[in-house]
Amino acid sequence: MPQGGAEGEEFKMLLSLLPFEEQEQVMQYRALPDKKRTLIGRLLSLRACAQALGDPAYDQIQIGRTKGKKPFLHSPLPGSLPNFNFNISHDGSWVVLASDCLYLVGVDVSAPQRERGEHEDETWFQDMTSVLTENERECIKGGKTHQERYAIFQRIWSAKEAVSKAVGSGLSFGFERMEVTLPESENGFGNMVLSAIGWPRSDVEKPPGKRSRMNFSSLLANLQGDQRGQGGGTERGDQPPRPAPEKTGEAQHKPSRVDLHIDHWLRSDWIVEQQEFTGGSWVTVALGPVYDAVDADGIFKTTFRLPGLGGPTNVEGLMAKAQTEASRHWIPEAQGFQQLAVDALAPQKVRGELAALKARLLTGKGKKGKAQAASKYKARPQDGELLTQLTAVSIVDLSAPQWKHRCVEVLGDAVDLLPAGIAFTCRKGLKPDTPNQDTWFVLKMDTFSLYAVLDGHGPNGHEISQFVKEHLPKLIVQDPRSKSPEAGPCLVDAFKKMQRLVIAAQSRRRLQAQKSGTTATVALLDHSRGKLTIAHVADSAAVLGTKEGDKWIGKAVTRDHKPNLKGERERIEKAGAKVGFDGTNHRVYAKDSTAYPGLNMSRCLGDTLGHEECGIICEPEITRINLDSSTEQILLICSDGVWEFMSAQEAIDIVTTRPYDMGDQAVALLAKESWDRWIREEGAAVVDDITAGLIYIGKDRSKN
C-alpha cells in the first residue's frame, strides 16, 4: 500500500492520478485504511480499463456507475472485447478486481472479523437474519465453532453480494430472494481476468520494505501482447510477446463452485465461484447473462455489442453469437487471482517518478519539507501529467433516476396512485453541489398500506435515504405483526433492524454512514380497522387534515425530534455528549467538540458515529390515530423543505384547494409555495429539497 498516511507523498502522488471529485470521495473516509483501500480500488479500475483499451492515458477513460453503483467503462469502448465488464471489491487486507469480455461479472471479497478489527462474536447472525433463507441459517448453525459459522456466513453473503453487483442493483436486489448452497465441487474461473492487491495487516499503517512483484496474467495481456490469431505475432508491433506469468501462490486455494437459486429457481445460467485467500478471506466471482443487467437509464447496456448473450454455461450459444474463433484467445493460460504491486496501477509515464519518490523515501535522502511536498502533490488542474481530469467525470449518480422527479416505489400489488387518492412530489432544492437527498415510497398490501418520506443529510445522505427506502418496507412486511391490531411494536423493531442493516452495510463498506443519515416517517394505514399508525424519527412531519363543516382543520400529529427537547437532551447528555445553540438551531456535539457531529436532530437512521458517541437513537416515536369514517380526512407527510416556513394549517389550506381526483396538482402547489417561501426568506441563496405526500383517508379511505 502507499507509504505513510493520507499526508504522505506517495499517497498524494497516487491520489493525484484520480479526477478531483474522486479524490474528494476518497478523502471523505475517516479511517486511513479505508482511504487506502478506496484509492487502490479506483486505480485498479482505471488500470483494468486502460489495459482493455491498449493502455491509453487515464484522462481518456470515462467510468460511469449504474443506479446500483456498479462501475462500468463508459467510453471509449474496446474494439476487440464485445461486452467488456469489470467489478471491484475491497475488505480487510485485499482489494480485488474481476473483469470479463462477454458476461456480467461481479466480485466480492469478505474478510474474517479479526482482519476487520471486529470483536469475534455472533451479533452479526441476529442482524443478518432477515437477508438469509431458512436453509442458509441452518447451514451456518452447522458450523462447530464461531469461526466456522462466520466463515460459512462469509461465503453465503459474499456470493449474494457478487451476484447483486454483477446485475448492477447492489443491495436493492433483495438478498432474501437468493439462496446459496456450498457444494465441494471444484471448477476453474473460466475466461475471467482476475487481479488482486493484498497487504499484511501491519502494512495498513507501516508498509514493509519488501514489495510484491507485478504478476498480472490476463486475457487482455493475451489480446494485446500475445495474439495468436490468423495473422500471428503481436497486436502492436512495438511490443514483444509477454512472458508467461510467474506463479505467486500466496493467495491461491483452488476455487469451488456454489449453486445459486433466485426466487426459488436454480439459476444454471450463472456461474458463481469462490476462492479462499490467505488469512481466511473469501472472494466470490459471479458470471451471468448480459440480459439480466439492471440499468435505470440504459447507459450501461449500450456498452454491450452482444446484449442478448445467454449465460456462461451456454458455450454453443456463445460461439454462435460471437462468430469468431478469437474467443479461444479470451481464456488466459493461468486461471485464478494474480497479485499486483501498487506500482503497477500507475500509468507507465508516471512510474518513473513514483519509483524515484519511493527510493528517496526509503533512503531518507533529499527529504522535502511537509509544506513543500504538499504544495507539489496537492490536486490542482495545473499539475499536468500527475493530475488527470476526465472529460466526463465518474460520478455516483451517473445512471440514477432524475433527482427532480422520482418514481414511485410500489411493492406488493400494482397501484395507480392518483385514482387511489395518493399523490407525491419530490423536488431537488437549490443546492448546486448536492444531489436530492429526499425520497419516498408507497407500498400497498391486501389489508394495509405504507406511506413514507425520507430526508437524507450529510455528505452521503442520498445513499442512506435510498438504502432505507429499499429495505425498510420489506422489514415491515416480513413481520406478521404488521397485520395485527397493534402495529406499533412491528414498526419499532423494523426501525431498529434497519439501523443494524445500515451498520452491517457500512462495516462491509457498501455505505458511508458515519456522518450521514436520514429522517424517516412511515404511516401504516390499516384499511379494515380504520387505524393509522405512524412511526417517525427526526423532522419529516406528518399532519392530519379533518373536514369540519366547510372548513379543513390541520393538526400536526408528529413532533420534531430536536436535541433541546427535555427527554432528548437528557439522553444525549447522559451519553457524554452536549447540546449547543449555533444561533439558528440546537445541535448535538461530542463531548470535546464544537463541530462534530453537529446534528440538529436527536433521532435518525444512519449517523453511526452519532449513535455510538452522542446518544442519537433510531427508536421511532409511535402515533396512533383512530380515523373518523363519517367525515373526510387527509394525511400530509412532508420533508422539512415544506415545514421550514409553513405551518400545518397553511399546508392543509393549500392542498384542499384541489379536489380528490387532482391530488397531483395539490402537492405541486404545495411544493411551489414552499419553494417560493424559501426564496423570499433566504434571499434566493438556498432552497432545501422538497418532498410532499398527500393521502386521502377517513370517509374516502375505501377508495384507497
Least confident of 506-510, 610-614, 674-678: 506-510
- Enter the C-alpha cell of residue 145: 465453532
Alpha helices per DSSP H over 517-619:
566-574, 608-613
Tell me the DSSP string of 291-327.
GG---SSSTTGGG-SSTT---TT-HHHHHHHH--GGG
Domain boundaries, the chain: 9-114+132-167+180-243+252-384, 410-560+621-703
Task: Give the integer Cα–Cα distance in Å for 443 and 462.
Answer: 20
Q: Contact 418/664 with Cβ under 8 angstroms?
A: yes
Same fold, 9-114+132-167+180-243+252-384 and 410-560+621-703: no
Q: What angle do CA 525, 529, 532 make, to 5 degrees?
A: 30
| Residue 528: Cβ-neighbour burial (10 angstroms; 0-12, 13-18, 19+) | exposed
Strand spans (E) along 560-620? 578-581, 586-589, 597-599, 605-606
Instruction: Give yes or no for residue 128 having a pLDDT over 90.
Output: no
* Mean pLDDT (whole number) for 176-194: 61
Classify 91 in phi/psi space as left (phi over 0), alpha (psi -120 to 50) or beta. beta
Q: Under 8 Å CB-to-CB from 405, ≥6 apart: which residues?
A: 425, 426, 427
Residue 22: pLDDT band (50, 70, 90) is confident
In CATH, 410-560+621-703 is 3.30.1330.30: no
Element (H, E) at 255: none
pLDDT digits (tens, 9 = 90+) for 220-268: 333 333 333 333 332 323 333 333 333 333 444 567 788 888 888 888 8
User: What is the model's pLDDT at position 399?
Assistant: 25
pLDDT in tens, 134-145: 888 888 888 888
What pLDDT digit, counting tens, does each position of 317-332 carry? Answer: 554 444 433 333 333 3
pLDDT of residue 421: 87
Q: Which of 39-43, 198-202, 486-490, 680-684 has the highest mean pLDDT?
A: 486-490
This prediction has a pTM of: 0.52
Residue 65: its pLDDT value, please? Answer: 83
Supply 677's cell numbers.
417561501
Strongest mean pLDDT among 166-180, 439-453, 552-566: 552-566
Q: How many CB atoms lie within 10 A of CB 115?
A: 16
The answer to which of 68-72, 356-360, 695-699 has the lowest mean pLDDT is 356-360
Distance CA 618, CA 254 (A): 44
Binning pLDDT at 50, 70 and 90, where does residue 5 land?
Answer: low
> In the CATH scheme, what is the homologous superfamily, with its name and number, of domain 9-114+132-167+180-243+252-384?
4'-phosphopantetheinyl transferase domain (3.90.470.20)
What is the reported pLDDT for 263?
83
Q: What is the mean pLDDT of residues 67-93?
A: 84
Provide the mean pLDDT of the chain: 76
Side chain identity, residue 225: G
3-class secondary structure, 47 = helix
